[in-house]
Amino acid sequence: MRALKEEGIDISGKKTQDVFDLFKAGRTYRYVITVCSKEAADRCPIFPGRVERLHWPFADPSTFRGTDDEVMVQVREVRDAIREKVTGFLAEVRAQAR
């Protein structure tokens, strides 16, 4: 939460949503992107329905060890890597739409 807050994103009031609840509520998506680590990929949630599924493995911050400062360095690296991946993906989707 702190790493996101540094970027002006406040998720403190947000809760995790179950993918099956979203599906049952009629939510549809063109893409579903999972970000589970390579080690946890077999436990990554699967969104039902007709979607394009993408898997972008990132390290799990809950496994990081060290001092608070050392852990935050690693968390920021994951945050920044996710931002870079999302930015590239959006540019690619927009280019395909033209």
Number of separate domains in the chain: 2
**Residue at which a domain ends, from 40, 57, 74:** 57
pLDDT tens per residue, range 2-38: 999 999 999 999 998 888 888 889 888 889 888 887 7
DSSP string, 26-81: T---SEEEE---GGGGGGS----SS-EEEE-----GGG--S-HHHHHHHHHHHHHH
20 and 48 in a single domain? The answer is: yes
Cα 9-12-17 angle, rounded to 5 deg: 100
Q: In whole angstroms, what is the distance from residue 59 CA to residue 63 CA?
A: 8
Q: Is residue 1 part of a domain?
A: no
- Per-residue confidence band for 90, with pLDDT thresholds at 50, 70 and 90: very high
Residue 26's domain comprises: 13-57
38 and 50 in a single domain? The answer is: yes
Q: Is residue 19 part of a domain?
A: yes
Q: Is residue 5 part of a domain?
A: no
% of the chain beyond a pLDDT of 90: 57
Q: Model-level pTM?
A: 0.81
